[in-house]
Amino acid sequence: MGLEPITNRVKMTAARLRRQDGRPGPESANPLSRPRPLGAGPSRLRSFDPGRIADLEYRAWVGYYLRKWPQVLTASVGLVRVGFGMDWYRTLHGAWLVLRANQLWAPFPANDPDGARACMRRFYALVRLSYGEPASPAKAAALEVDWWRVHREVQYSTEPRGAGDELVESLTRLYCYLYGEPEAEVRPAAVHRARAMDLSDQWVEEGRRPDSPLLPLEHAALVRAYAALLAAVHR
């Protein structure tokens, strides 16, 4: 099945869900506008299943490098739903924005970083409507696309990565901004996620074989990354 039928289905489903839900008022649009009860657990943004998110991101990465956009869209819907816990209308809208951002970023070297940032800014605006954070969707989008830039530079560089790993640093900056946690707390998650990218890049270089032994290692690194992130932000 091509991307267009799936896209149309997503748009129709989102429209139907919006009609069913009605237009949300200010209180329902921003749960953080109401005080959280004493003793309440972590917000949905800080409580997620690291194994499930890792599996979905792994599927999204494989689909991205094989240019299987329907697979990327399906994984993106799951990632947004499991990772951000928004209602279904915002989940479907957000997944579409993430897909479009990746499509605009994907061409090399003539990609569209401004278009990718615009899509991610709209995505983080949806997150802010749901949770009251991040404070600036534009800054969150800029940090998101910045690690894409760094990763692409690393991917096509002939120089070895050093101790001051810019990819780890860019991921750390994003996590610090999104979750408001100290660098030391979120850096382990960034290290493991960067390692997963290294394995993914090696898989691409070796021909993108579906039976490559690198793929399970990439998946495991992503599980470690999101387990470390959950440990840092679950409060």
Whether residue 9 is predicted with pLDDT greater than 90 in this model: the reply is: no
Contact at 8 Å (CB) between 119 and 100?
A: yes
Position 118 scores a pLDDT of 98
Confidence of residue 157 (pLDDT cuts 50, 70, 90): confident
Task: Provide the residue type at 104 as one letter.
Answer: L
Contact at 8 Å (CB) between 205 and 175?
A: no
Q: What is the mean pLDDT of the chain?
A: 86
Task: Provide the residue type at 17 as one letter.
Answer: L
Confidence of residue 7 (pLDDT cuts 50, 70, 90): low
Residue 36: CA atoms inside 13 Å, Cβ hemisphere, count? Answer: 13
Residues 6 or more apart whose Cβ sits within 8 Å of residue 215:
58, 62, 203
Contact at 8 Å (CB) between 234 and 65?
A: no
Whether residue 10 is predicted with pLDDT greater than 70 in this model: the reply is: no
CA-closest candidate to residue 20, choices 89, 86, 77: 89
pLDDT tens track for 210-221: 999 999 999 999
Confidence of residue 194 (pLDDT cuts 50, 70, 90): very high
Domain range summary for the chain, segments of one domain joined by +: 49-157+164-233
Cα–Cα distance, 156 to 229 (Å, whole number): 27
Cα–Cα distance, 122 to 138 (Å, whole number): 8
Q: Is the N-terminal amide bond of 182 cis, ω within 30° of 0?
A: no
Confidence of residue 68 (pLDDT cuts 50, 70, 90): very high
Is the model more confident about 142 or about 109? 142
Is the model more confident about 235 or about 204? 204
Q: Where do we find the tokens 């990819």?
A: 167
Position 43 scores a pLDDT of 77
Position 71 scores a pLDDT of 95
- For a pLDDT cut of 70, what percent of the chain falls above it? 80
DSSP state of 135: S
pTM, full prediction:
0.82
